[in-house]
Structure 1
Amino acid sequence: MPSIRIPACFMRGGSSKGVFFAAADLPAARAEWDPLFLSVIGSPDPYGRQLNGMGGGVSSLSKAAVISASLREEADLDFTFTQVAVGEALVDYSSNCGNLSSAVAPFALERGLIQLEDGPTSVRIFNTNTSKILIAHFQVSDGRAVETGTFAIPGVSGTGAAIRLEFLDPAGAGTGRLFPSGNLKDRIVAEDGRVFEATLLDVGNPCVFLDAGAFGRTANETIRELESDTALMALLEELRRKAAVLMGLAEDESAAPSAVPKIAIVGVPLPAKDLAGNAIDPEKADLAVRMLSMENVHRVLPLTGAMCSAVASRIPGTVPADLAKQADGDVRLANPSGILPIGTDVSLEGAPTVRSVTVIRTARLLMTGEVVLPA
Structure 2
Amino acid sequence: MTQTAIPYLFMRGGTSRGPYFNRADLPEDRETLAEVLLAVVGSGHPLNIDGIGGGAAVTTKVAMLSPSEDGWADVDYFFAQVSVEDRLVDFKPTCGNILSGVGPAAVELGLVQPTSDVTDVKIHAVNTGAKVLSKVLTPGGVLTYDGDTEIAGVPGAGAAVALNFMGVVGSSTGAFLPTGNIRD
Q: Could you tell me the TM-score, scaled by structure 2's length?
A: 0.89
Q: Which amino acid aligns with 2:33?
A: W
Deviation at 1:118, TM superposition (A): 3.0
User: 1:80 is matched with which residue?
Assistant: 78
Q: 2:30 aligned with 1:35, yes or no?
A: no
Unaligned runs of 5+ in 2: none
Aligned pair partner of 2:180 in 350, 353, 357? 350
Superposed counterparts of 1:51-62, under 5 Å: 51-62=49-60
Which residue does the alignment assign to 1:26? 26
Q: Which whole-Å deviations, capped at 9, do the CAs of 1:173-223 have from their partners, x for residues lacking one?
A: xxx7359xxxxxxxxxxxxxxxxxxxxxxxxxxxxxxxxxxxxxxxxxxxx
- Number of the residue aligned with 2:121: 123
Unaligned runs of 5+ in 1: 180-345, 353-375
Question: How many positions carry a matched residue from both structures?
Answer: 181
Q: Does 1:70 align with 2:68?
A: yes
* TM-aligned CA distance change 1:348 to 1:146, over 3 Å: farther
Q: Distance in 1 between matches of 2:134 and 2:67?
A: 15
| Cα deviation 1:220-264 (Å, max 9, x = unaligned) | xxxxxxxxxxxxxxxxxxxxxxxxxxxxxxxxxxxxxxxxxxxxx
Distance, in Å, in 2 between the alignment partners of 1:119 and 1:349 is: 43
**1:140-289 paired onto structure 2 within 5 Å:** 140-141=138-139, 143-170=141-168, 177-178=172-173
Give the corresponding residue for 1:268.
none
TM-score with structure 1 setting the length: 0.45
Partner SS for 1:4: coil
The Cα of 1:30 is off from its aligned counterpart by: 2.7
Alignment of 1:8-27 (within 5 A): 8-27=8-27
* C-alpha distance in 2 between matches for 1:167 and 1:157: 27
Q: CA contact under 8 A between 1:106 and 1:144: conserved in structure 2?
A: no
Per-residue deviation at 1:9? 0.9
Q: Contact conserved, 2:63 with 2:79, CA < 8 A, in 1? A: yes
Q: Does 1:7 align with 2:7?
A: yes
Return the alpha-carbon distance in structure 2 between the equivalents of residues 83 and 144 of structure 1: 31
Deviation, structure 1 residue 60? 0.7
1:98-137 deviations in Å (ceiling 9; x for gaps): 0111111111111111212231221110001001101111
Q: Which deviates the most, 114-123 or 36-45? A: 114-123
Change (3 A) 1:84 1:170: farther
Local SS of the residue matching 1:6: coil
Q: Which runs of 4+ in 1 moved over 4 A?
A: 346-349
Between the aligned residues of both structures, percent identity stands at 37
Following superposition, the deviation at residue 171 of structure 1 comes to: 7.0
Deviations 1:34-76 (A, max 9, x none): 000000001011xx21121111111111111100011321111
**Paired residues of 1:109 and 1:143 also in contact (CA < 8 A):** no
Aligned mates of 1:108, 1:124 — CA distance in 2: 10
CA distance in 1: counterparts of 2:17 and 2:169, whole angstroms:
25
Q: CA deviation at 1:351?
A: 6.0
Contact 1:109 1:144 in 2 (8 A): no
Residue 33 (structure 1) shift: 0.5
Compute the displacement of 1:152 (Å). 0.4
Letter in 2 for 1:177: S
Amino acid at match of 2:15: S
Say which structure is richer in strand: 1
- The separation in 1 between residues aligned to 2:83 and 2:53, in whole angstroms, is 10
